[in-house]
Structure 1
Amino acid sequence: MTIPLLRCAVLDDYQGVATSLADWSPVTDRVAVTAFREHFGSEEELAAALADFDIVVTLRERVPFPASLFARLPKLRLLVASGMRNSVIDHAAAEAHGVTVCGTASSSTPPVELTWALLLGLARGLVQENTALRQGGPWQSTVGADLHGRVLGLLGLGRIGSLVAGVGTAFGMDVVAWSRNLTDERAAAAGVRRAATMEELLGESDYVSIHLASNPGTRGLIGATELALMKPEAYLVNTSRAAVVDQGALLAALTGGRIAGAAVDVFDLEPLPADHPMRTAPRLLATPHLGYVTQDNYRRYYGEAVEDIAAFLAGEPIRRLG
């Protein structure tokens, strides 16, 4: 008798690479994999699409799994999310509905490279100049902002912030950092100065880069009042969490020319609707949440997702979350 295959859904495979960047052969004799390239914009759409799936693979925190969704997915038995922390999965609800939740190793390539790509692109007007050159526009229209000798302010000096600091130092920047729990000793170990307050950091920095986790203490941390403390010629970069910066306040600051510009890779609503004002805001360099979207990271995420599925099928789940 032929045993029916379990069904596995891979969510938000925007580039269509989930099944090519990892070897799924260890499970394909028992699992049929379906990758969805489109994002499901509502819980209703998601529940309808996943109703017949036993396994779901999701990347990082792109898709919330609240208790209400678990209740609508009675066939679901395994949820795999990349990384070893996930704040948008209701783990208690998963357990209550008999769903095992597993993770993968964290990123081998954190968004440090993208942070600097955005900062440099913003400072040197790369998008404007490239567009003008390709479209037959004026030969040189911007005057680039310098990095050497300028102040780089880091909100957050954890693993990623410390790596960003090292690059800033290599560029000859004066790097200063602040977070609520940052000590002088920790700052000195990273080769940077510690700002006494966030307000002090915002006021003296030529570039501000955010590297904070999203939690009740950081949500809305940068609003209109804080943006008003920045120099008019200063730039803001956010490759961390959208919730740290009040999006309406940032739009107002950019539209009014209150700061020289901003570069962001994260948004309150993703994917960003076609008519969203962030798509057309002046002085803004924006990318569609590409921080962890690299070949090495995807190979790790999907490769270890296959390992998680194989272990679950063997009755010995690994890398359990919750």
Structure 2
Amino acid sequence: MKKTIVVYKALPSEIEAYLRKNADVVNVDPNDHAAFVAALKTADGAIGASVKITPDMIEGATKLKALSTISVGYDQFDVDDLTRRGIVLTHTPDVLTESTADTVFALILASARRVVELAEWVKEGHWKSSIGEACFGVDVQGKTLGIVGLGRIGGAVARRAALGFRMNVLYTNRSANEQAEKEFGAKRVGLDELLAQSDFVCLQVPLTQQTRGLIGANELKKMKPSAILINASRGPTVDESALIEALKNGTIRGAGLDVFEQEPLPADSPLIAMKNVVALPHIGSATHETRHAMARNAAENLIGALEGTLTQNIVNRDALGR
């Protein structure tokens, strides 16, 4: 008898066809909360992204054995609760590494060279003569990049920085990244030292209880006044109110942000009007190639988890024993 899978995000046609070959598929709009919860109650598995699935939503879902998120992050789930229920959670950590690292470096370059601000300035008709210091940015090459969290994406950013732009790479991590130290000359330091020495501070950490609000007013004050903060990890890792204040009063030079405390970013957010902020709509892995690969990976993760053959991309391995 085929398993039943709930799909709560639009998938490429060939990937949905792959799921239908292996299971009965029920497409649900997650904005219809009642219908979504009802579908989960009778499902064996579910696949989607960008929707919070809380314990009360899966209460009574006795058949549910696996959830597959089309993302590397999994803060939309209560992992401990899923583990207690014996529900396996899978994610897609590898296929998006390079495209996300590209986005991070795009933020570094755009923030340093004021790309977005000056492109708008030209389109508004202000370019009347040769530019002067009012349009100058700062160099990226040869500067110091501090990476908070040197995992897959952080390592890919370090490679671009060290080999492509001859940057000095500092990093903080729970454990040493010997490969990055050997290949890119990365140096592991404490957070305070990283903040004090870096020209660019890049956050590449998952959102956990330990990383929520990791960068607040005190941390921003430890940064150079000329430094730029880059965040393409998760919005709540930064105290947004403290960041806005730091950007207003010149505590730091600028920020390149792909993530925010509230997404979409509210239209009245002060960040939108700030010339020293590059704000993107959470596009980290948003290329045609990568998003397709993520969907394929997530679909294969789900089928593998339901069949008991999956050995990688499992967030909560302890659930396997339950």
Q: Normalised by the shorter chain, which TM-score bucket?
A: 0.7 to 0.9
Which position in structure 1 is the counterpart of 2:96?
109
Q: Structure 2 CA distance, aligned partners of 1:205 and 1:211?
A: 15
Deviates more, 1:176-185 or 1:261-270: 176-185
Offset, 1:83: 5.4
Which position in structure 2 is the counterpart of 1:24?
16
1:148-176: per-residue Cα shift (whole Å, max 9, x none)? 22222222222222221221123444423
Is the aligned partner of 1:249 residue 2:242? yes
Offset, 1:236: 0.8
Offset, 1:211: 1.9
Q: Structure 2 CA distance, aligned partners of 1:227 and 1:258?
A: 7
1:180-230: per-residue Cα shift (whole Å, max 9, x none)? 545595663243352543222222221111222333333322211111122
Q: Structure 1 CA distance, aligned partners of 2:82 and 2:177?
A: 42
Name the CA shift for 1:33/1:142 in 2 (closer, same or farther; >3 Å).
farther
SS of the aligned residue for 2:296 comes to: helix
**Cα RMSD, aligned residues only:** 3.4
Is the aligned partner of 1:126 residue 2:124? no
Name the CA shift for 1:243/1:24 in 2 (closer, same or farther; >3 Å).
same
Q: In the alignment, which of 280, 296, 305 is matched to residue 303 of structure 1? A: 296
Which position in structure 2 is the counterpart of 1:279?
272
1:269-301: per-residue Cα shift (whole Å, max 9, x none)? 223333334433441111122112222332223
Unaligned runs of 5+ in 1: none
Number of positions where the alignment pairs a residue of Structure 1 with one of Structure 2 = 304
Name the CA shift for 1:174/1:304 in 2 (closer, same or farther; >3 Å).
closer
Which position in structure 2 is the counterpart of 1:10?
8
Which position in structure 2 is the counterpart of 1:46?
33
SS of the aligned residue for 1:228 comes to: helix
Deviates more, 1:146-155 or 1:130-139: 130-139
Larger helix proportion, structure 1 or 2? 2
Q: In the alignment, which of 41, 47, 56 is matched to residue 46 of structure 2? A: 56
RCO comparison, higher one (Cα < 8 Å, 6+): 2
SS of the aligned residue for 1:113 comes to: helix
Q: Which amino acid aligns with 2:52?
A: P
How high is the sequence identity, in percent, across the aligned residues? 28
- TM-score normalized by structure 2? 0.78
Is the aligned partner of 1:68 residue 2:56? yes
Q: Structure 2 CA distance, aligned partners of 1:7 and 1:293?
A: 25
SS of the aligned residue for 1:176 comes to: strand
Q: Structure 1 CA distance, aligned partners of 2:184 and 2:3?
A: 55
Which position in structure 1 is the counterpart of 2:257?
264
